[in-house]
């Protein structure tokens, strides 16, 4: 049987032939690609010439490329188009891939060559990008156990294999526990307060399950969030909140408590084995923050400014709640409902007023126009590029001269086979090997409100900023212009990677940008200037509360990963102790964040969740510069593209930032922007 994953892709731009790939192709293709990768390593080891940058460091960088391609296809689909069969393949493949990686990183003979090349390379003759690759390669081996003795290496391999399985189990449990909850409503009175579009979407969800004349609500964000914001029925809000807050914390087969503790414990053991005090120390060594103390300093500074503001905000919401004869004190399942009413009272603005101006197709077009005005790139829709699901759209991205830049995939709607949330990913990276340029295939995956029988997909303003956020990541990938793939695009320090994405959100608040796309889906009327002003005025609504919440999540992450010893108390007790200073409500029995905290136990954010706030410091500092020069100033945009977007991880991020901005960032712009610091 011919395996399309092992052949040249004879498709436009050599894009992935999704229609030809069957599930049974993955494992044999991976096994073949691993054998080829091992052969690449063997040829480096067999090379009789003295180890140097070209024959060792660069050769290693270029090894195993087929495996990288197949892995990215498989694991991307396992996140956005999964099935029980895909998850079983992932369970089988993950230990094999972990072992493959360990065999390379713990290979004594290979490391000797790398060490020789590292020590003997003429660093004066290397470019900054080559120097970065040299440092990164050597340190990655040391940080992954190359200096350990054989017994410790074997122990490390066991830990890595177990961690790869546990991470998969965590994500599968969370997806299954989320999907199994359904809240069926048969009495229309229980829908009081909900906008018509939300009710219609719930009716459509029920119909898709074969049940007419009922309404279905799930834990998918487009279903969960509007119900919590608008539903008058307090008991049903509580029911939905408890279901969401207890995901993978229930007494069933999908409980993640033991997995959370085992992952945290194994990461701590691994850190000690490698000579570090904690997992956080390992992670932060290759971050802009450098060490846990700097992260705590940032989080403490933000908390100091945000907490008093958050308490004032809570009091304001409670006061409104009291005037409406609501509960005193409010519970967590009341807060979104009453804060939405307060927002409407203060700013006369809410999602239902704004949504008609944010038709998904027009918002996408607006993101494209924004990128064109800033960076000169255009997006041409293609129908001849294969996709993994009928809802996915593809685009050929071109520069101002019409030259191909990237293929862009967009996947916007929830489905049971897709995990919750929104993310950017790549199906192929960018490099410049053998005097040829490989351009990237970049994708954004979201879970937005679906079209209904009577309305197109109309986005909440939060969904608009989410789309621009992920599009910012996509631009970082698409505009990559490096030589080495492992240093290209979004392959940067983790607390730097959110700068382009969070920066893009700012344009959603600017009239010059909104005028490009915010038009009423029925009348085509441009969004009124007074609504634009209200969007700006309400931008800092609950900013203290939101900042305290983010600080709490950052502290919870660090608590699990800056351990001095493995915890003996329960997951819930541990979490309570870690977040006590950032709690704004009384604890609710039966809910838990850690068991559903996929960013840190399934994604790559362990000891790195703080990076959202770190990047906000960079982003606020950057956008102040745009505001000073003009939000569509071509020179400022060119400086950002040339020094940040195109450069990837080719230099230390602080050096790249200073080349763009001319100085190191300050926290002051963020505190000013958030309304937490008076000018």
The residues carrying an active-site annotation are: 470
Q: Which pairing describes strands 441-445 and 404-411: parallel, antiparallel, or unpaired? A: parallel
CA–chain centroid gap for 395, Å, is 22
Give whole-number Cα distances, 401 to 376, 377, 378, 397, in Å. Answer: 9, 9, 10, 11
247: number of CA atoms within 13 Å, CB side? 26
**Partners of 380 in beta bridges:** 396
Kindly give, in sequence order, each residue whose CB lies less than 8 Å from that of residue 592, ignoring residues fewer than 6 positions away: 245, 246, 249, 571, 572, 575
Distance CA 249, CA 256 (A): 6
**DSSP conformation class of 445:** E
Dihedrals φ, ψ of 24, to 5°?
-70, -10
**Partners of 393 in beta bridges:** 410
**Partners of 381 in beta bridges:** 395
Question: What sign has the CA pseudo-torsion 564, 566, 572, 573?
Answer: negative
Give whole-number Cα distances, 516 to 383, 449, 538, in Å. Answer: 25, 22, 21
Distance CA 614, CA 608 (A): 10
Question: Within 10 Å of residue 347's Cβ, how many Cβ atoms?
Answer: 18
Tokens, residue 116: 């020789």
Distance CA 6, CA 66 (A): 8
Distance CA 317, CA 134 (A): 55
Distance CA 523, CA 520 (A): 5
| H helix intervals, 121-149 | 128-143
Q: Report the candidate in 107, 114, 110, 112 with the shortest Cα–Cα distance to residue 156.
A: 107
Q: At 267, which helix (H) or strand (E)?
A: helix 257-273
Q: Collapsing DSSP states into helix, strand and coil, what is residue 229?
A: helix
Q: Collapsing DSSP states into helix, strand and coil, what is residue 493?
A: coil
Distance CA 58, CA 306 (A): 47
Dihedrals φ, ψ of 664, to 5°?
-75, 155
**DSSP conformation class of 527:** P
Q: How would you classify residue 460: left for phi > 0, otherwise alpha for psi between -120 and 50, otherwise beta?
A: beta
Q: Are the C-beta atoms of residues 552 and 545 closer than 8 Å to each other?
A: no
CA end-to-end distance (rounded Å), the chain: 68
**Partners of 184 in beta bridges:** 216
Q: Are the C-beta atoms of residues 375 and 637 closer than 8 Å to each other?
A: yes
Distance CA 69, CA 4 (A): 12
Give whole-number Cα distances, 586 to 329, 389, 591, in Å. Answer: 10, 43, 12
158: cis peptide before it, omega within 30°? no
| H helix intervals, 409-497 | 461-478
Dihedrals φ, ψ of 211, to 5°?
-120, 110
């Amino acid at each position: 049987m011919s395996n399309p994953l092992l052949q040249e892709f004879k498709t436009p731009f050599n894009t992935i032939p999704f229609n030809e790939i069957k599930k049974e192709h993955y494992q044999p293709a991976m096994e073949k690609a691993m054998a080829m990768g091992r052969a690449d390593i063997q040829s480096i080891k067999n090379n009789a010439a003295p180890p140097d940058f070209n024959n060792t460091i660069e050769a290693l960088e270029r090894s195993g490329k087929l495996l990288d391609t197949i892995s990215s296809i498989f694991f991307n689909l396992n996140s956005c188009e999964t099935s029980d069969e895909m998850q079983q393949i992932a369970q089988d493949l993950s230990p094999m891939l972990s072992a493959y990686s360990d065999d390379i990183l713990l290979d004594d003979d290979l490391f000797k060559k790398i060490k020789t090349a590292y020590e003997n390379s003429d660093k004066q003759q290397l470019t900054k990008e080559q120097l970065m690759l040299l440092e990164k390669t050597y340190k990655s081996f040391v940080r992954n156990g190359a200096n350990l003795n054989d017994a410790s290496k074997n122990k490390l391999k066991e830990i890595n294999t177990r961690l790869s399985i546990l991470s998969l189990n965590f994500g599968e449990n969370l997806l299954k526990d989320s999907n199994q909850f359904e809240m069926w409503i048969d009495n229309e009175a229980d829908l009081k307060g909900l906008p018509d579009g939300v009710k219609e979407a719930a009716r459509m969800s029920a119909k898709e399950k074969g049940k007419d004349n009922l309404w279905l609500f799930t834990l998918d964000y487009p279903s969960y969030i509007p119900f919590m914001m608008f539903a008058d029925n307090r008991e049903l809000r509580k029911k939905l909140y408890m279901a969401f807050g207890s995901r993978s914390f229930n007494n069933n087969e999908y409980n993640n408590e033991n997995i959370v503790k085992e992952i945290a414990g194994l990461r701590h053991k691994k850190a000690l084995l490698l000579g570090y005090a904690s997992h956080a120390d390992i992670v932060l060594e290759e971050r802009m923050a450098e060490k846990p103390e700097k992260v705590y300093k940032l989080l403490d500074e933000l908390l100091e400014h945000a907490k008093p503001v958050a308490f004032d905000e809570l009091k304001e919401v409670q006061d409104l709640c009291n005037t409406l004869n609501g509960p005193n004190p409010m519970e967590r399942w009341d807060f979104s409902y009453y804060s939405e009413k307060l927002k409407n009272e203060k700013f006369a603005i809410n999602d239902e007023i704004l949504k008609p101006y944010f038709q998904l197709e027009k918002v996408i077009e607006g993101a494209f126009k924004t990128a064109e005005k800033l960076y000169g790139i255009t997006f041409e829709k293609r129908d001849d590029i294969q996709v993994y699901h009928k809802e996915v759209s593809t685009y050929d991205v071109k520069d101002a001269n019409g030259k191909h830049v990237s293929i862009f995939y967009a996947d916007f709607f929830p489905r049971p086979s897709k995990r919750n949330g929104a993310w950017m990913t790549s199906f192929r990276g960018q490099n410049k090997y053998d005097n040829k340029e490989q351009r990237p295939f970049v994708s954004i995956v979201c879970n937005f409100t679906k079209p209904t029988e009577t309305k197109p997909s109309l986005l909440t303003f939060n969904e608009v900023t989410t789309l621009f956020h992920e599009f910012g990541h996509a631009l970082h990938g698409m505009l990559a212009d490096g030589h080495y793939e492992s240093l290209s695009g979004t392959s940067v320090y983790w607390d730097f990677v959110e700068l382009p994405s969070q920066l893009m959100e700012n344009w959603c608040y600017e009239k010059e940008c909104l005028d490009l796309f915010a038009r009423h889906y029925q009348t085509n009327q441009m969004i009124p200037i007074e609504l634009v002003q209200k969007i700006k005025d309400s931008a800092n609504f609950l900013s203290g509360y939101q900042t305290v919440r983010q600080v709490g999540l950052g502290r919870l992450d660090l608590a699990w990963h800056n351990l001095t010893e493995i915890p003996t108390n329960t997951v819930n007790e541990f979490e309570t102790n870690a977040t006590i200073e950032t709690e704004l409500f009384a604890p609710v029995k039966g809910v838990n964040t850690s068991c559903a905290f996929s960013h840190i136990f399934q994604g790559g954010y362990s000891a790195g969740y703080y990076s959202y706030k770190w990047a906000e410091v960079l982003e606020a500092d950057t956008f102040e510069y745009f505001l000073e020069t003009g939000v569509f100033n071509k020179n400022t945009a060119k400086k950002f593209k040339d020094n940040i977007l195109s450069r990837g991880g080719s230099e230390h991020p602080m050096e790249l930032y200073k080349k763009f901005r001319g100085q190191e960032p300050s926290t002051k712009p963020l505190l000013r922007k958030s309304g937490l610091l008076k000018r």
